[in-house]
Structure 1
């Protein structure tokens, strides 16, 4: 009889229908429809899923008003913000019939416990029935109050039924110690700032040396103009130019992908821009959110798959085209006459003591007599890593360090103690100031032997090439067969102290130990920083739609930045410890280690985020669109594909990427890593007149330019690509933020290269090639995502067990294919670049403009010139910032003569210092100010 009455009710609903409301075209009898559906649900539970679909077919708009005490099966037809009538103002999830679907009713406060015993509290602000709101509660009371019966681990129960953190005094103690340390640091900085200026001359010298170290136009030795196009101009060699081209390519790619997604959304459905961004909240809203999200995602999946396929093909082909373009740019730059254009690398030399006089002349004579070409000189690579400190001391001994004793106007014991500590530290930085004993250099050279390599410098590039052609099969030198090949690196990019003759197995062993250190750092970071954050998120109470506030987001951003910075420092130390001969090889190793370590860092973050999201969604009672609780899903793929997890992971990935990873680590770089360190160094130098030139230059010198940007950018690209695994609401935002962040990084590096970092030359494309290799797994993520999202949509339907294997196979297959094309196909499209002008320049002309030559960059060569060969004007050792001390001696290949260079100066800033201000500027009328 009830079923007949229900059918009659449905018929009456259709008969009286026809009027519309402002929100939804609902007939006046739509409430009767609700009652009819509710009756159908109670009589025939298997029709529960049919009711909402019948409802949705009648009403094209969302249902915004709900009846009282009627059980409604929720789906996408309901408005997420629908409110209950005033006499039954609370949403209650109906658990009375044990149905698997999200069923809600509008009830009065007294009815909350009857409809859902687990949510007996009536929350007037949220308009819902919820559970007890107690952070850290494991088993809440069910008496309708916000109180707890049993608290979770690391919490203790209070007499009022609340939970408070145990050992809270530890957190207060840590906060107090941190606060005291911060106050001490601030007090020390204030003390530095208020000290009298007693070493303005030393500050002048240090700033002048810092200024001379910067990149300068070799034609006039002036700073490069601000508007220099670093994508086309070789300021620091072709390797640096390729770096800027890569950054620019990522900006264009990210902007194109983001704009393409927006255009697709407006052509197909703007829900693509909202899907996954609607916030969760009350139990009612969460049920409607899942139903809406799943149905919309499935309805628009064809558009996403089409766009994903287009992005995959465009990115894959674009990365190969980018690799070809980079090779051509390198070829075009390689035709220019730089130091390496005149040099050939000889390998296979016997071990010769550095005290022997005729090593260079004998090798030069053999090569010249066999080839008929003019040889300027030979620079032998010596094994002196074990005595590097002594060599540096001999080369950079400062006999002009001030020893004047400036009266101390402050007589307080604290001031004297701080000054003494600083002086002790500065003496360690300065090294020994004792005058080297007579014959110390010769004694040291007797313990140094040559490596198996040397650089032969020819007068012209054409002469070098003819000599290589003549000696293509090698030649004999002192009973050893040696080979000769064109030099691939510039003198600035060679670590001369690392020619220690160690075999590759030693370097691999050092690298393995370094990887263990990286893993240890990763585990330490996870235990010290990440686990406390995860614990605080998991013990947060989300009842009634509560979400962690901005403090949690700030802590998460700080944790991500700390993780990235710690990996940066560890990887840099490991790369230095391996002992590579060339700076490009060190930078490539550093980039690979940093990319892998930060990728592991990100994978750990994402894994923890998944488990936290799953635990939170389970706590909030989320179900699948079919009404199955998340805890009853047996497989990872099923859980991962549940819309509640998809939405939470998409939001977490976006928040992880921006600003935590994309932008925050780089925002503080100009103020802290550049300006802050310079300011601290200036404050120390100006108050210590006893400081020598070496310590002054060390404190005021800028950090070298490193290629960690490659790894950062590749990681950012991988994070942006990963967003395709999740609903599309954040897709355009993450790519737009990537483009903006990379544009900022490009501008930051542009400024650092032109105005901050010491000059260095990156002559090979080794770093960029490894970057192209690491692009393969990033592109492979798109292939894996296409398989994952296309399951049961692209003509195949794999089981949950096999889907992950298929994604992994697609990722690996793409990497293999990408690398094969990169190694064997891309070079085929590259042809030898033709020089725009004939090679008429000689070595003398290039060496006259470049202070760092094959001879001046070699420390042992300079010591031999002075103490073994006893040249009247010995070969000057190249020290960045002291170019003006270098002397010309054409007979030994030294041609560089310093010109007047505009430098940063502090002599005119005396009044600014007295007002506790520092102003850096370029004074065009200032003479060179350098350390003697």
Structure 2
């Protein structure tokens, strides 16, 4: 207790430094995003979202109908309309048709003999995860009579959703249309539609998800949350409780401690739980069927962090209870000589050295190497090497996988923004150390620094060498990360209250000015007040820095932007690309954008396709 003032001073510095640093970092990043958006030619300047559309059949030229309706209502030049179709149930057929358009079928595929039953099911699941769609002979895919006519029939059977993207020739035209629609709306087949601006790049739009409404998405998110709770409970009950019970019943006589095998089991349990929660969170975010990849990543980040925090609380609480029962059973004493079992106040028990040491040691093991190191060391093998080896085996063993499908099997993965969830949880763990296990501060912070240096280097190499693309449509996920950083800083505030209360008392446990529910309420209040303050500063101060740093540059026009951006609201829409050829009769038709194959896109200014790959054009010139 003589040095409690050093802990309080350190916590005060850590809190102030973290808060001020977070705000300064937020200002710098917000200005950077605003500057890049202002200087680069981005598609969102020329696009507005048309909502409230009535149901229309694919047999109609819906794109031309909507284009004329918007142009007449707003008196501006419209490049075109990209409609969001309800094709979720026909997604595989649509992708098959696109693949056939890129690489015509070579007749009936050879029989997949020798692969059946469970092996075939596992193979198909892996291939579907890679978006490898093998021909299905039972349905006649790839056989004569099921080519363009079948695709056209499929397209004509589809229906529109209530949403479409309207592309304008200029930014001024888009702004004028927004004002006009705000005043009087846009009439389409008797329905009054609205226009609103869009902030997401077309490359991240998930066109197959527009059939899901906001109300339906709420139900899907509830289901995902329930699944996360069940996953946490199942892991704790089925795996962690047996391990914790074994550790609690271990004989610690004569200084004996569990061996390295027990430590290895703990590492495996923690890593396995995080992998399981990652899978459940990822599937839950995808099941929510957001309209954009950034929104999906935001949902994943929130669910994954919430699940990890809940899992941490359950694990630490269970271990603390078992450790307490064990130490009471062996007659452990606290600093003033009293038996630990004689303490009746939770605050006294929590502040006692035996409990602080036990929980602190467990929390440090949870941090290092379980959370900070092992998952990231395994990532190169699990995320890069293993998929490549699996693809090598499948392509070599299955004669159906050839051409475009073989390329997809060996295709590199995409870098996602889910790394925010990993880093935020690591920082949350570190923030818990000072008032739960202050003796481990230097070890934990050192481990965090080493871990994040490795993560930074690994991600840089992965993005530049082993990822197909790294697409983020806007700053929303980054903004969420800055908001979530209020959690660890709030924990610092709660820890400052806890240690400050200890400093106000004497050497007796629980002798601080605040006690019992007053102390816990003050800690919770400090964390909540900081969270409110943190979010308010971000919203009303940091966000404004982005607007002030914008140059106010007006775009040169959609044509100029489309010449340098192969991913447009037309080329990323799979149904539009098929309708361009089979229904709308464009020549040349719109080609689907595929990262790494920009050279196959053909220009057709009449339909808003302006992009010409520079490398392809230079080869033609030579």
Normalised to the residue count of structure 1, the TM-score between the two structures is 0.60
Superposition pairs for residues 359-370 of structure 1, below 5 Å? 359-369=62-72
- 1:333 maps to 36
Structure 1 position 740 matched with structure 2 position 450: yes
After superposition, the C-alpha distances for 1:673-728 in whole angstroms (9 at most, x for unaligned) are 11221122123323444423353234222333232211111111111011111453
In structure 2, relative to structure 1, the CA distance for the partners of 1:825 and 1:884 (3 Å cut) is: closer
Native 8 Å contact 1:784 1:811 kept in 2 = yes
In structure 2, relative to structure 1, the CA distance for the partners of 1:686 and 1:735 (3 Å cut) is: same
**Equivalent residue for 1:482, pick from 175, 186, 193:** 193
Structure 1 position 495 matched with structure 2 position 206: yes
- 2:551 maps to 835
Q: Which runs of 5 or more structure 1 residues have no equivalent in the other structure?
A: 1-297, 407-414, 902-926
Paired with 2:92 and 2:437, the residues of 1 have a C-alpha distance of 58
Cα distance, 1:830 vs. partner?
4.3
Paired with 1:632 and 1:431, the residues of 2 have a C-alpha distance of 72
Paired with 1:858 and 1:417, the residues of 2 have a C-alpha distance of 37
Structure 1 position 885 matched with structure 2 position 593: no
Superposition pairs for residues 622-641 of structure 1, below 5 Å? 622-641=332-351
Mean CA deviation greater in 613-622 or 804-813? 613-622
- 1:324 maps to 27
Structure 1 position 869 matched with structure 2 position 584: yes
In structure 2, relative to structure 1, the CA distance for the partners of 1:722 and 1:682 (3 Å cut) is: same
Question: Which secondary structure state, in structure 1, belongs to the residue aligned with residue 104 of structure 2?
Answer: coil
- 1:669 maps to 379
After superposition, the C-alpha distances for 1:642-664 in whole angstroms (9 at most, x for unaligned) are 11211222222111101111111
Paired with 2:436 and 2:463, the residues of 1 have a C-alpha distance of 38
Native 8 Å contact 1:492 1:760 kept in 2 = no
In structure 2, relative to structure 1, the CA distance for the partners of 1:346 and 1:714 (3 Å cut) is: same
Structure 1 position 350 matched with structure 2 position 350: no
- 1:852 maps to 567
Cα distance, 1:579 vs. partner?
0.9
Native 8 Å contact 2:170 2:558 kept in 1 = yes
- 1:91 maps to none
Cα distance, 1:471 vs. partner?
4.6
Paired with 1:673 and 1:401, the residues of 2 have a C-alpha distance of 33
Superposition pairs for residues 379-390 of structure 1, below 5 Å? 379-390=82-93
Structure 1 position 697 matched with structure 2 position 407: yes
Paired with 1:366 and 1:833, the residues of 2 have a C-alpha distance of 37
- 1:658 maps to 368
**Equivalent residue for 1:439, pick from 149, 163, 168:** 149
Paired with 1:362 and 1:684, the residues of 2 have a C-alpha distance of 46
In structure 2, relative to structure 1, the CA distance for the partners of 1:404 and 1:430 (3 Å cut) is: closer
Native 8 Å contact 1:494 1:582 kept in 2 = yes
Please tell me the root mean square deviation across aligned C-alpha atoms, in Å.
2.8
Paired with 2:117 and 2:598, the residues of 1 have a C-alpha distance of 33
Paired with 1:547 and 1:450, the residues of 2 have a C-alpha distance of 66
Cα distance, 1:810 vs. partner?
2.1
Native 8 Å contact 2:205 2:292 kept in 1 = yes
- 2:479 maps to 769
Native 8 Å contact 1:542 1:620 kept in 2 = no
Question: Which secondary structure state, in structure 2, belongs to the residue aligned with residue 381 of structure 1?
Answer: strand
**Equivalent residue for 1:793, pick from 503, 509, 517:** 503
Question: Which secondary structure state, in structure 2, belongs to the residue aligned with residue 673 of structure 1?
Answer: helix
Native 8 Å contact 2:67 2:81 kept in 1 = yes
After superposition, the C-alpha distances for 1:173-202 in whole angstroms (9 at most, x for unaligned) are xxxxxxxxxxxxxxxxxxxxxxxxxxxxxx
Q: Which runs of 5 or more structure 2 residues have no equivalent in the other structure?
A: 506-511
In structure 2, relative to structure 1, the CA distance for the partners of 1:404 and 1:900 (3 Å cut) is: farther
Cα distance, 1:568 vs. partner?
0.2
Question: Which secondary structure state, in structure 2, belongs to the residue aligned with residue 592 of structure 1?
Answer: helix
Question: Which secondary structure state, in structure 2, belongs to the residue aligned with residue 305 of structure 1?
Answer: helix
Cα distance, 1:366 vs. partner?
4.1
Native 8 Å contact 2:301 2:418 kept in 1 = yes
Paired with 1:627 and 1:395, the residues of 2 have a C-alpha distance of 77
Structure label with greater radius of gyration: 1
In structure 2, relative to structure 1, the CA distance for the partners of 1:416 and 1:763 (3 Å cut) is: closer
Question: Which secondary structure state, in structure 2, belongs to the residue aligned with residue 337 of structure 1?
Answer: coil
Paired with 2:406 and 2:29, the residues of 1 have a C-alpha distance of 40
- 1:806 maps to 522
Question: Which secondary structure state, in structure 2, belongs to the residue aligned with residue 831 of structure 1?
Answer: helix
In structure 2, relative to structure 1, the CA distance for the partners of 1:405 and 1:418 (3 Å cut) is: closer
Paired with 2:569 and 2:60, the residues of 1 have a C-alpha distance of 20
After superposition, the C-alpha distances for 1:7-62 in whole angstroms (9 at most, x for unaligned) are xxxxxxxxxxxxxxxxxxxxxxxxxxxxxxxxxxxxxxxxxxxxxxxxxxxxxxxx
Cα distance, 1:591 vs. partner?
0.5
Structure 1 position 399 matched with structure 2 position 104: yes
Superposition pairs for residues 244-283 of structure 1, below 5 Å? none
**Equivalent residue for 1:513, pick from 196, 220, 223:** 223
- 1:593 maps to 303
In structure 2, relative to structure 1, the CA distance for the partners of 1:418 and 1:486 (3 Å cut) is: closer
Question: Which secondary structure state, in structure 2, belongs to the residue aligned with residue 450 of structure 1?
Answer: strand
Paired with 2:591 and 2:569, the residues of 1 have a C-alpha distance of 12
Bigger relative contact order, structure 1 or 2 (CA pairs below 8 A, ≥6 apart) = 2
Paired with 2:115 and 2:92, the residues of 1 have a C-alpha distance of 28
Normalised to the residue count of structure 2, the TM-score between the two structures is 0.88
Structure 1 position 820 matched with structure 2 position 523: no
Structure 1 position 710 matched with structure 2 position 420: yes
